[in-house]
Structure 1
């Protein structure tokens, strides 16, 4: 976990490692599939309002993508956009749709923003106690979006994708303007993730 203080208020911004992201998802009991899906959607870059309104029909297979999937967000803050999603997330949504007998046009999560805050609050407090790490107490839904933005950007950039920032902003729904780019860089883009640093070290004369 990497943290930075807020520039103008108390508290800390958090960026989770990939292992910590998985630990958070695993902390959610399988008896509550909506909670896990909600946190996974936030770790896919969705805002809280967007998480609440995802429907099964919003998932679709990429053309020629060899079982790769995307999620369309039809009513995002900056309009309609699509973002890549894991096959595991799509399968969990498919299973829940069948088990709960949801319509294709029915919201999967369909709870209040307060409920989302409660869900992540229960998970973070449990992890803080189990891991004896008080930093988890600062974790909020917005930190999951920060984590996704930072991991996505640096992963693409390290692989040499020339439009890493543009792709991340497009998938995450930041406006392609000077102010949108400033918001992305100042409030979401965080320190280089550990897995990127570890991969980069393979190219350095460090034993």
Structure 2
């Protein structure tokens, strides 16, 4: 984990893929819904405030990109009303979401995650506390929900060499 203490009130953290997996598993111990919420942030770049919107109706296979996409209603970076964008989903995350939806017998119009933004952020805090106890690494206490999105974007930009404009359009 890389931590940067800058002039902000909270340090920024970048997690490795292994650390993101650890956080997912730690969250999953308190319920599959929590694990799915972490996946949406850490592996698809959703903000905590966006996790409680999409459901099966917003998931589709992209003909042109050969990948799963999900419609997200989220932050308008220019201000004003929330805007819509299409986010990319890894195959295994899309598979997990479909299984989760089937097991929970969710209607296609139901969101996968039925929780407030504050609850989703709390789930991240609770999962990180589990990891502090297990690993003894106090740096986990600095991890926020937004760090999952930051780590997702950095991984794709740096490790997978995805273009900046592509990342801006999907994230």
Q: Determine the structure 2 residue equivalent to 1:171.
A: 170
Q: Cα deviations across residues 35-61 of structure 1 (Å, max 9, x unaligned)?
A: 011001111111112111111121111
Q: What residue is the counterpart of 1:175 in the other structure?
A: none
User: What CA distance in whole angstroms lies between the structure 1 residues aligned with 2:167 and 2:156?
Assistant: 6
1:102-121 per-position Cα deviation (integer Å, ceiling 9, x unaligned): 11111111111221122111
Secondary structure at 2:98 match in 1: helix
- Counterparts of residues 133-172 of structure 1 (less than 5 Å): 133-157=137-161, 164-172=163-171
Counterpart Cα distance in 1 of 2:15 and 2:110? 31
Distance 1:31 1:118 in 2: 12
2:22 counterpart of 1:32: no
Is the CA contact 2:124–2:145 (under 8 Å) kept in the aligned structure 1?
yes
After TM superposition, give the deviation of residue 31 of structure 1 in Å: 6.2
Structure 1, unaligned stretches of length 5 or more?
A: 173-207
Matched residues in 2 for 1:80 and 1:113: separation? 18
Give the match for residue 184 of structure 1: none
Query: How far 1:146 moved relative to its partner?
Result: 0.7
Structure-2-length-normalised TM-score = 0.88
Name the counterpart of 1:186.
Answer: none
Please identify the structure whose Cα radius of gyration is greater: 1
- RMSD (Å), alpha carbons: 1.7
Distance apart, 1:128 and its partner CA? 1.0
Change (3 A) 1:15 1:113: same
Match of 1:57 in 2: 57
Aligned with residue 77 of structure 1, among 75, 78, 86: 75
Q: How many residue pairs were aligned?
A: 164
Larger CA deviation: 131-140 vs 54-63: 54-63
For the pair 1:92 / 2:96, whether they are aligned, the reply is yes
Deviations 1:4-54 (A, max 9, x none): 013232x31100001111111122336611101100111111111211111
Whose RCO is larger (CA < 8 A, sep 6+)?
2
Unaligned runs of 5+ in 2: 77-82
| SS of 2:112 mapped into structure 1 | coil
CA contact (8 A) 2:45 2:153 kept: yes
Q: Which of 109, 129, 134 matches 2:133? A: 129
Partner of 2:80: none
